[in-house]
Chain A
Amino acid sequence: MNIIVVGLNHNKASVEVREKFAFDSEKLPNALKHLKESKISAENVILSTCNRVEMYASVKNLDTDVEKIIHFLSDFHNVPQQALDDSLVIYQGPEAVRHIFRVASGLDSVVLGEPQILGQLKDAYGISLQHKSTSTLLNRLMKKTFSVAKRTRTETGIGKGAVNISFAAVELAKKIFEDLSGKSFMLMGAGEMAELAARHLIGNGVEDVTITNRTLARAEELAQEFGGKVIPFENFMEELLHLDIAICSTGAPNYILRKEQLHTIMKERKQKPMFIFDISVPRNIDPEINDLDNVYLYDVDDLKDVADANAEERGREADKAEKIVEAEVQSFLKWQNSLVATPTIVAIREKAEEIRKEELDKTLRKLGPLEEDKIKAIEYLSSSIMNKLIHPPTAALKSVEEDREIMIDMANRLFKLETEENNGKKK
């Protein structure tokens, strides 16, 4: 049995191609059923996300079965096969295992180290399990894949440090305030990035939300969405007396908050710490405010630098993760290799046991009635001779020597074995 990967992903396939071949939650079970019934591939996991449509399968014959899967893709989605030509990725053997490990670890993701892909793969495998579309090989592979993904995440920093601005803002807020639940927050102005950052903050437990905007209608809208209260824009200074976090994105042409003003406010609030995130361009908050004690002011560029530095760090950590993946690929291949000899070893053992039982019965019958312990002694003699005889050949078959294929073949002939499908090889 061989592991293969056939699919489309963001590296080679455009979104137009990917969406044509995507499997939604309705199509997916049908596809698994079809693959199983038509015996295209023995085991299947289909991972379909916005960035990739990939089929992980175990097949008997590499050349013909890959072709069959490609046919299936085009037939199932009713798209001519030419559409796949330049976009398809096909991996087999070690490359396939490596690819699956890398995908699960987030090493193949658009955002390096992003964690969602692992959950998506777990879901995909769950559906395959539900439809009994996997067996020994893929089950073992998936189990290993999840443990590799866990290793790369815990032993390296590929998933650490926010790599986009709004996450970086939340991460920073947590290093200032520890726990964001119960913290008060004000959104000044509106705008896509400001709203995204606000959403992340609220998702992390920020409770007391205030919204202010020059056009009240927009403020009301946002207040409904975030469950906050609206105050007139002129009153925002009063709000500064007690809030913990402020996001400013007003589009004013000049500074709306100066150092001296905030200095007075900080005195009045007894230096309670404040985190201000100024998204506006041009900036709305006097940058010198960052010099005040217990005030932390970040603008878009600051947070972009933070996110970029984190992304760079993830890139460095990715090298370590690749090394882990490589080691795990080798260990998996070793296990997979040991499978090749299993049928032969089982056959030798079965044959030897059969002979032993037969001869033992004959002898015992000839000897007539015997005491229990004497029968036991004879039984012991026969099985220990058998075990000692078959130990060297089975041990040799289990080892990972280069000439193992030949050895398996020889063993089959020497012991006159008729193993099932002769270890995957035709006679």
Chain B
Amino acid sequence: MPYEKGNHKSLNITGAYALQIETNILLFEIALTLYFLSTITGVIEIFRSKKGASKAAIYLAALGFIFHTGNIFVRYVQGGHIPVTNMHEAASFFSWCMIILFFFHEFRYRLGLLSSFIMPIVFLIMFSSAIFPREINEFLSPALQSYWFGVHVILAFLGDAAFAMAGGIGVMYLLQERYVKSKHLGGLFQKLPSLQVLDEINYHLITLGFPLLTLAMITGVIWANSAWGTYWRWDPKEVWSLITWLIYALVLHLRLTVGWRGKKAAILSIVGFMVVIFAFFGVSLILKTKHVFP
């Protein structure tokens, strides 16, 4: 066989590259499947009369989280930056942050049915990530090669994850409140946590998410200035971040001044979550934004 040095080498590189892509996609698919199974188990738990399935939902989620972390790690090593530079990566990172918060609350408070209400949200965000193209950006635009980039995105994603959790807890609160008010204490009444606990955790999550969002916006503004020379450009992403910030500022303000807690706080946290989701997906897909992750 004739010796062709050039050809041989290039083939080799393509092969290795293809293999790496396979690895991170495989990890992603396994994680997605496990989250799906965890969601199904969690939903079954709602309709079961006995206890027991919620543990399975948690184990499946934990297993999924390990593969998910592997996926993020592989992409980090390959891309050389936190993998949040396209919609696929961003949504995946969002659900990763959320599941960390979920585990924290699960082990700290052991809330009944938490997995049944949170895992579907985690799965749906993860599933939306699966829809988007999965290429790895190996060459970042100069604007992204900044110290502020990492700080900004981690703060923003953790904040969004806290708001998403608060939304899920808000749904649980509204359900439990309906049982207590209607005086029909069947269904999920026994399994759901008490109103006070749900309300307190909802509040804690918002007091966690709000400063994170505030800091994310501050770092974002500083970064924008260092990258483009202007602090604020009224980009749709910026506008919707501001709207999100104002909503949660209002939630906290109303709670502290006139006692908007319980049902009203739960409804507001669900509305807030919807705005977060729109700001996250909608703005990037429907409105044209210059915001750089996609």
Residues on the B chain within 8 Å of A294, using CB: 261-263
Q: Chain A nearest CB: distance from B169 CB in Å?
A: 14
Q: Contacts of A174 on B, CB cut-off 8 Å?
A: 194
B259 engages A306 (CB within 8 Å): no
Known: A178-B196, A271-B262. Contact between A296 and B181, CB under 8 A?
yes
A residues 184-218 near B (Cβ < 8 Å) are: none
Q: Is A296's CB under 8 angstroms from B180's CB?
A: yes
Residue of A nearest to B183 (CB): A302
**CB nearest neighbor in B for A178:** B194
B186 near A273 with CB under 8 A, answer no
Interface centre among B49, B183, B263 (most CB of A within 10 A): B183
**B264 nearest in chain A by CB position:** A293
* Segment with Cβ contacts to B, from A53-61, A154-162, A414-422: A154-162
A157 and B49 form a contact (CB under 8 A): yes
Contact B194 A175 (CB under 8 A): yes
Give A40-69 as 1s and 0s: 1 = Cβ < 8 Å from B's Cβ atoms.
Answer: 000000000000000000000000000000
**Cα distance A293–B195 when bound, in Å?**
12
Query: What chain A residues lie within 8 Å of B194 (beta carbons)?
Result: 174-178
Q: How far is the CA of A310 from the CA of B49 in the complex (A)?
A: 14
**A161, B183: Cβ atoms under 8 Å?**
no
Q: Is A92 an interface residue (CB 8 A)?
A: no
Q: Does A270 contact B (CB under 8 A)?
A: yes
Whether B180 lies near A309 (C-beta < 8 A) is no
* Chain B residues with CB under 8 A of A155: 50
In the bound complex, do residue A161 and residue B181 qualify as a contact, i.e. CB atoms below 8 Å apart? no
Contact of A306 with B185 in the complex, beta carbons under 8 Å: yes
Which chain B residue has the least Cβ–Cβ distance from A162? B185
Verify B262–A175 contact, CB threshold 8 A.
no
Closest Cβ neighbor of A160 among chain B residues: B190
Give chain A residues whose Cβ lies under 8 Å from the Cβ of B180.
172, 175-176, 296
Are B186 and A309 within 8 A (Cβ)? yes
Verify A298–B183 contact, CB threshold 8 A.
yes
B residues in contact with A139, CB < 8 Å:
none
- Contact pattern, A 115-151, Cβ under 8 Å of B = 1, otherwise 0: 0000000000000000000000000000000000000
- The tally of residues in B whose CB lies under 8 Å from a CB in A reads 23
Residue from the set A157, A175, A293, A294 with the largest chain B CB neighbour count within 10 Å: A175
Q: How far is the CA of A157 from the CA of B181 in the complex (A)?
A: 24
Question: When the two chains form their complex, are residues A293 and B262 in contact, meaning their CB atoms are under 8 A apart?
Answer: yes
Determine the chain A residues whose CB is within 8 A of the CB of B278 once the complex forms: none
Residues of B within 8 A of A263 (CB): none
Distance in angstroms between the alpha carbons of A267 and B264 in the assembled complex: 14
- What mask results when residues 33 to 54 of chain B are scored 1 for a CB within 8 Å of chain A, else 0? 0000000000000000110000
Measured CB to CB, the nearest residue on chain A to B51 is: A154
Q: Is there an interface contact between B195 and A271, defined as CB atoms closer than 8 Å? A: no
Is B260 among interface residues, defined by CB-CB distance under 8 A?
yes
Q: Give which listed residue, A178, A269, A270, A309, contacts B193 with CB less than 8 A.
A: A178
A residues contacting the other copy or chain, number (CB 8 A): 27
Taking a contact as CB atoms under 8 Å apart, the answer to whether A161 and B190 are in contact is yes
A10-64 residues at the B interface, CB under 8 angstroms: none
Q: A293-B263, A306-B183 are in contact. Are A175 and B258 (CB under 8 A)?
A: no
Counting CB contacts under 8 A, is B176 at the interface? yes
Asked if B250 CB lies within 8 Å of chain A CBs, one says: no
Task: Let me know if A383 is at the binding interface, CB within 8 A.
Answer: no
Tell whether, in the assembled complex, residue B259 and residue A272 are in contact, meaning their CB atoms are under 8 Å apart. Answer: yes
A260 within 8 A of B: no
Contact A271 B193 (CB under 8 A): no
* Closest B residue, CB atoms, query A303: B183
In the assembled complex, A290 has its CB within 8 A of some CB on chain B: yes
CA distance A273 to B199 in the complex (A): 11
* A residues near B181, Cβ cutoff 8 Å: 290, 296
Which residues does chain B contribute within 8 Å of A272, judged by CB atoms?
A: 259
- Which of chain B's residues have a CB closer than 8 A to the CB of A302? 183
Closest to A291 in B: B181
Q: Report the separation of the CA atoms of residues A175 and B196 in the bound assembly, to the nearest whole angstrom.
A: 8
Cα–Cα distance between A178 and B196 once the two chains are bound (Å): 6
Contact A175 B259 (CB under 8 A): no
A172-B180, A306-B185 known; A177 vs B49 contact (CB < 8 Å): no
Q: Closest CB-CB distance, B256 to chain A, in whole Å? A: 9
**A176 cross-chain contacts in B, Cβ below 8 A:** 180, 194-196
- Asked, given contacts A178-B193, A178-B197, A302-B183, whether A270 binds B50 with beta carbons under 8 Å apart, the answer is no
B197 CB contacts on chain A under 8 angstroms: 178
B84 → A minimal CB distance (Å): 38
A239 at the interface (CB under 8 A from B): no
Digitize A276-308: 1 where CB-to-B-CB distance is under 8 Å, 0 elsewhere.
Answer: 000000000000001001101010001001100
Among B184, B185, B195, the residue within 8 A (CB) of A273 is B195
CA distance A255 to B185 in the complex (A): 26
A294-B186 Cα distance, complex, nearest whole Å: 20
Q: With an 8 A cutoff between CB atoms, is B73 at the interface?
A: no
In angstroms, Cα B181 to Cα A296, docked, is: 6
* C-alpha spacing A313/B187, complex, angstroms: 11
26 chain-A/chain-B pairs, Cβ below 8 angstroms: A155-B50, A161-B190, A172-B185, A174-B194, A175-B176, A175-B180, A175-B195, A176-B180, A177-B196, A178-B196, A267-B258, A271-B258, A271-B261, A271-B262, A272-B259, A273-B261, A293-B264, A298-B183, A305-B183, A306-B183, A306-B185, A309-B184, A309-B185, A309-B186, A310-B185, A313-B186
Beyond known contacts A176-B180, A270-B261: 17 more, CB 8 A cutoff: A174-B194, A175-B176, A175-B185, A178-B193, A267-B259, A269-B259, A271-B259, A271-B261, A271-B262, A272-B259, A273-B196, A273-B262, A293-B262, A294-B263, A296-B180, A298-B183, A309-B185
